[in-house]
């Protein structure tokens, strides 16, 4: 049995035991029908990852015919991010490393040579893995993922209210799915002032007010709630929403002009686990001013999955993953300007920051960076927290 066949047999067993899991999105697994993940745990990617039938987070390093000694080190790495870490493989090979694996607190999932039976020996339970928060966030995203793009920092300079305009395209027909082409046509009919319709639809999906499925876009449960709330406070049409946008442009923001609306939008944004975790990280510094350098450092060192999915641009993601997998993450902190230029969303330092000001997550005292990347001083570019963050 090769590695993919062992992975498949273990997954079939986990399904029978009612475990929820995802397998590594690696080329050798491309023909397997199971849901995929791109999770990193301390610079390594488990072959199988998820929740067991009592909601404990687990990871499995799987081997086929070779590299069983190497599997011990990989499975020990996963202990830094999960409650239970296993080595999976063919029983005759696992037997040769079972003593050292079990004495190291690892579990074993052994598959009979014929593939007919699977035996599980549970590992010691890890009480407080250091990367557990980052892994939990990724798990939450995987459980609820109905998005095409996870990165808020990929948003353009578009005013935050623009991303709520797609809600009104579903007004009166909330349950009907529509393609992006149909939504763009609807935007053209109502003549919404911002013509970047595709960006607005994608942004609404990232926030979580639109879901994306095989039939197109439709209002999420949060989107339906948001639309109902808008109507209840007098924003009962897309033209009324446009008025609110016009009243909060230039040197004004949503929080300064309509604080209750801003705090409601905060609550909507906090339904997105990536956004909520990022703001929690800002608060974790226990001070009102946090530098861009401090933010980048903590994302790289303690929250690599959030760094990849929140900060790194999609075209650079594979290269950054390779740096993590090779143990070279510190290189990302050697030259911040190069890291931002080569891998990051430049918008993170101005458009996204401006969004946080609109929400009241950041204070209006914040200065937004609009210059060239090479002129950004990450040590002196500060994020000043607002006084009414609702988490």
> Where exactly are the structural domains of the chain?
3-132, 160-246, 273-384
Q: How far apart are CA 27 and CA 350, in angstroms?
A: 37
Task: Tell me, rounded to whole angstroms, the distance of Cα 135 from its chain centroid.
Answer: 10
* Residues in the chain, overall count: 391
- pLDDT at residue 244 tops 80: yes
Q: What's the whole-number average pLDDT of the chain?
A: 91
Q: How far apart are CA 171 and CA 236, in angstroms?
A: 9
Token pair in block for residue 229: 């709330």
Least confident window among 107-116, 146-155, 330-339: 146-155
| pLDDT tens readout for residues 96-117 | 999 999 999 999 999 998 878 9
Q: Where are the beta strands (DSSP E) in 91-215?
A: 107-111, 118-121, 210-213
Give the pLDDT confidence score for residue 141 in this predicted structure: 79
Mean pLDDT of 58-75: 95
Mean pLDDT of 19-48: 93
Give the pLDDT confidence score for residue 147 in this predicted structure: 55
The DSSP output letter for 156 is -
- pLDDT at residue 185 tops 70: yes
Mean pLDDT of 160-168: 96
Mean pLDDT of 160-174: 91
> In this predicted model, which residue has the larger pLDDT, 181 or 372?
181
Backbone phi and psi for residue 41, each to the nearest 5 degrees, phi listed first: -125, 105
Looking only at the bridges linking them, the beta strands covering 36-37 and 20-24 are parallel
Q: How far apart are CA 39 and CA 61, in angstroms?
A: 13
Helix (H) or strand (E) holding 33: none
* Residue pair 311/345 in contact by the 8 Å Cβ criterion: yes
Give the pLDDT confidence score for residue 175 in this predicted structure: 72
> In this predicted model, which residue has the larger pLDDT, 253 or 314?
253
Give the pLDDT confidence score for residue 99 in this predicted structure: 96
pLDDT interval class at 3 (50, 70, 90) = very high
Residues with Cβ within 8 Å of 19's Cβ and at least 6 positions away in sequence, in order, are 50, 51, 52, 53, 58
pLDDT interval class at 223 (50, 70, 90) = very high
Backbone phi and psi for residue 23, each to the nearest 5 degrees, phi listed first: -110, 155
Give the pLDDT confidence score for residue 176 in this predicted structure: 81
For residue 367, give Cα distances in angstroms to 234, 241, 381: 32, 27, 8
pLDDT interval class at 263 (50, 70, 90) = very high
Helix (H) or strand (E) holding 79: none
> In this predicted model, which residue has the larger pLDDT, 261 or 321?
261
Q: How far apart are CA 207 and CA 91, in angstroms?
A: 46
> In this predicted model, which residue has the larger pLDDT, 352 or 237?
237
The DSSP output letter for 366 is P
* Residue pair 151/315 in contact by the 8 Å Cβ criterion: no
Q: How far apart are CA 320 and CA 209, in angstroms?
A: 29
| pLDDT tens readout for residues 10-32 | 999 999 999 999 999 999 999 99
Least confident window among 71-80, 168-177, 269-278, 377-386: 168-177
| pLDDT tens readout for residues 351-371 | 888 899 999 999 999 887 666
Show the DSSP H helices in 145-258 as ranges.
180-190, 197-207, 221-232, 238-246, 254-257
Token pair in block for residue 268: 């909507």
In a 13 Å sphere around the CA of 275, the CA atoms on its Cβ side amount to 27
Q: How far apart are CA 156 and CA 199, in angstroms?
A: 8
pLDDT interval class at 154 (50, 70, 90) = low
Share of the chain above pLDDT 90, in %: 70
Was domain 3-132 assigned CATH 3.40.1350?
yes
Backbone phi and psi for residue 211, each to the nearest 5 degrees, phi listed first: -100, 150
- Which fold would CATH assign to domain 160-246? Topoisomerase I; domain 2 (1.10.460)
Burial level of 256, CB count in 10 A (0-12/13-18/19+)?
middle
State the pTM of this model.
0.82
Give the pLDDT confidence score for residue 370 in this predicted structure: 66
Give the pLDDT confidence score for residue 155 in this predicted structure: 74
DSSP string covering 276-331, please? HHHHHHHHHT-SSEEEHHHHHHHHHHH-HHHIIIIIB-GGGHHHHHHHHHTT-GGG
Among candidates 246, 250, 249, 256, which has minimal Cα distance to 363? 256
Mean pLDDT of 291-309: 92
Mean pLDDT of 293-302: 94
- pLDDT at residue 145 tops 80: no
- pLDDT at residue 334 tops 80: yes
Residue 146's SS3 state is coil
């Amino acid at each position: 049995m090769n590695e993919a066949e062992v992975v498949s047999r273990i997954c079939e067993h986990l399904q029978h035991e009612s475990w929820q899991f995802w397998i590594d999105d690696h080329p050798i697994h491309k023909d397997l029908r199971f849901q995929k993940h791109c999770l990193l745990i301390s610079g390594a990617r488990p072959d199988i990852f998820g929740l067991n039938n009592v909601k404990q987070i687990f990871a499995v390093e799987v081997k086929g015919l070779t590299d069983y000694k190497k599997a011990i080190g990989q499975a020990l790495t996963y202990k830094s991010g999960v409650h239970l870490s296993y080595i999976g493989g063919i029983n005759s090979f696992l037997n040769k490393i079972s003593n050292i694996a079990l004495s190291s607190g690892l579990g074993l999932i052994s598959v009979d040579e014929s593939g007919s039976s699977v035996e599980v020996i549970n590992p010691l339970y890890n009480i407080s893995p250091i990367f557990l928060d980052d892994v939990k966030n990724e798990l939450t995203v995987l459980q609820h993922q109905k998005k095409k793009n996870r990165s808020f920092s990929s948003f353009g300079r578009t005013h935050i209210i623009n991303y709520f305009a797609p809600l009104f395209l579903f007004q009166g027909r909330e349950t009907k799915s529509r393609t992006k082409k149909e939504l763009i046509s609807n935007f053209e009919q109502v003549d919404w002032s911002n013509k970047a319709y595709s960006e607005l639809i994608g942004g609404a999906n990232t926030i979580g007010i639109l879901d994306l499925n095989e039939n197109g876009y439709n209002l999420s449960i949060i989107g339906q709630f948001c639309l109902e709330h808008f109507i209840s406070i007098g924003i009962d049409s897309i033209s009324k929403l446009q008025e609110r946008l016009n009243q909060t442009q230039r040197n004004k923001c949503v929080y300064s002009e309509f604080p209750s609306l801003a705090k409601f939008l905060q609550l909507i944004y906090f339904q997105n686990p990536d956004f909520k975790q990022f703001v929690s990280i800002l608060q974790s510094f226990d001070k009102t001013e946090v530098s861009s350098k401090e933010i980048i450092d903590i994302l790289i060192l303690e929250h690599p999955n959030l760094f990849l999915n929140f900060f790194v641009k999609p075209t650079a993601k594979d290269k950054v993953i390779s740096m993590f997998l090779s143990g070279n993450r510190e290189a990302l902190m050697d030259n911040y300007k190069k890291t931002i230029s080569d891998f990051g969303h430049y918008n993170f330092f101005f458009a996204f920051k401006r969004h946080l000001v609109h929400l009241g997550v950041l204070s209006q005292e914040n200065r937004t960076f609009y210059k060239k990347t090479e002129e950004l001083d990450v040590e002196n570019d500060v994020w000043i927290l607002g006084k009414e963050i609702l988490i």
